[in-house]
Amino acid sequence: MTETAARSIDVQRSQSLLFDESGSEYVRGWRVAAIFITLLLINAFSQIDRILPFILAESIKADLGLSDTQMGLLTGLAFAVCYALLSLPLARASDRGSPRLVLVSCILLWSAMTALGGIAASFLFLALTRFGVAFGEAGAIPSGHAIIARKIRPERRGLALGLFAMGVPLGTMVGFAAGGAIGDTLGWRTAMIGAGAIGGLIALLAFIVMGPTPTLERTAATSEPFLESSRRLLASPAFRWLFIGAIVLGFAAAPFYAFSAPFLIRTHGFTASEVGLAFGVPQGLMGIIGALLGGRWFDRAASSGTGRVLGPPAVLFLIASATTTAALFVPVGWMSILLLVPGMLAFSFLMPWAFGAAHLVAGEGRQAQASSLVMIGSGLLGPALGPLIVGMISDAATAAEIPNGIGLGLLIVPVSMVLTAVALLIANQRLATLLRRR
């Protein structure tokens, strides 16, 4: 082969791939956009399947005869335990094997379980399907982050993480708006079965678009037992405080999304359709803005060399704490929703910062595992106990004839927001120290 021909082949190959020093393939051009869009859709439908019971809660309660405490268990504990326990093994499989296969398998599982939830005739059966949804969704973020780490250049990963994270507010917006409308017109069962069916199509799209993902060469990071590797990560002060921040974040985010719709319906007289639009649309818009802004801002902060990459989200959480407290007690419904907007923005803005910072601490070959640990922090105790606490306070207040009991229970949200901000500020200092030493 002539030198000219060989050079031509190299140029053609470089049009679709870039390589780092270790030989890992980075895609470019239209393939980058295709991966971004597919990951966005995956995370959006993951969120839709997760939050449908929130917007449909009143219909599910009436149909199956459930209490607020049972709904707290259903939207919290039943989901969180399975989600957290399986996240690490699925993350390890993504780091050491094919994240594409992990991702596609997870999509198929959670979609099937969502559809099965639509035929539930009892609390137990519905709870079991939520375990199944949690099983599938436990691998979505780690495998998606592993794909980003292997296929997207480092200087664009903050944006990639932001776009991936944008699926959460987008899914929340669609889930609340479409779920509320379908629930009011066709029933909650139709909404869940339909969402599960669409998920099967998303799985097929993911399998086609992602393409083969080469297995990483065995290194100390990928060969180390995952429990030992997790212990090593948690031994880092920077990661430990990030993990603490994730834990208290779960006590803010889970009740915020699980009980905002019932709060607005009971306290301010909204219908499910009205809440879907009045709450879901601002949540989606703020989430999109927060994820994109957070991703780009994180890229700039990470490239600045200071290592201080968690200050902006901490400040936003302090602001959101004050406005959320006010939202729970104002007498006007539209004003309550307006005061919830900073909280909507804060949750999505934080995601690329938190995962990006975790990846900086973990290093090459452990990105999915770092994401998994952050997910466990935010997805176990808070979602398991937060909605349950709100439900118990609401039931107790109702029994004692205390008005706005659900609002009193939701005070756990602004308190947890303040604690999240404090943990992020401490993690910010520890991470700057760690990166200066490297």
Burial track 426-438 (b if 16+ CB lie within 10 A, e otherwise): bbbbbbbebbeee
Interhelix angle 226-235/367-379, nearest 10 degrees: 70
Distance CA 30, CA 192 (A): 33
236 neighbors 361 (Cβ within 8 angstroms): yes
- Judged by phi (left if over 0) then psi (alpha if -120 to 50, else beta), residue 25 lies in beta
Distance CA 242, CA 143 (A): 20
Q: List per-residue pLDDT tens for the chain, 438 residues long.
A: 444 444 333 333 333 333 443 344 676 778 888 888 899 999 898 888 888 887 788 888 888 888 777 776 776 666 667 776 777 788 778 877 788 899 999 999 999 999 999 998 888 898 888 888 888 888 888 888 888 888 887 777 777 888 888 888 788 778 877 888 888 888 889 999 999 999 989 999 999 888 776 665 555 455 566 677 778 888 889 999 999 999 999 999 989 988 888 899 888 888 877 887 888 788 878 888 988 888 888 888 887 766 678 999 999 999 999 999 999 999 998 999 999 999 999 998 998 888 888 888 887 767 777 877 887 888 778 877 888 888 889 888 888 888 888 899 999 999 999 999 999 999 999 988 887 776
Q: In terms of CATH architecture, what is 22-437?
A: Up-down Bundle (1.20)
Whether pTM > 0.75 for this model: the answer is: no
φ, ψ of residue 236 to 5 degrees: the values are: -75, 125
User: 3-class DSSP state for residue 27?
Assistant: strand
* The predicted structure's pLDDT at residue 1: 44
Amino acid identity at 194: G
User: 3-class DSSP state for residue 212?
Assistant: coil
